[in-house]
Amino acid sequence: WSPTYDVSAILTSIQSLLHDPNPNSPANNEAAQLYRENRREYEKKVAAIVQESWNDDGDDEEDDEDGSKAGS
């Protein structure tokens, strides 16, 4: 990041990285290997992880002091 970049340029860069990931410079080696070797399986795994994260969304309620779930 550099102060010469504005928010629009940064968001455009992020969008580009998400659209055209570089598996030769991965943050997650396992995902990059699957992406290179079996794109269909990679896409299935990503879809499953996204679906799981949507389903787990409501499980993060904080406990009240007495240990019960907030809002219960």
Q: Choose between 56 and 33: higher pLDDT.
A: 33
Domain assignment present for 16? no
Number of alpha carbons in the 13 Å side-chain half-sphere of residue 40: 0
- Point out which residues pair with 63 in neighbouring strands: 69
DSSP 3: T
Contact call for residues 70 and 61 (beta carbons, < 8 A)? yes
The verdict on residue 71 lying in a domain is: no
Q: Kindly report the pTM of this predicted structure.
A: 0.56
pLDDT at 22: 87
Q: What is the pLDDT of residues 24-42, one digit of tens each?
A: 999 899 999 999 999 999 9
**Residue 8 covered by a domain:** no
Check pLDDT > 50 for residue 72: no
- Is the pLDDT score of 51 beyond 70? yes
Structural domains of the chain, count: 1
Which residues, other chains included, contact 60 with Cβ-Cβ below 8 Å and sequence gap of 6+?
Answer: none
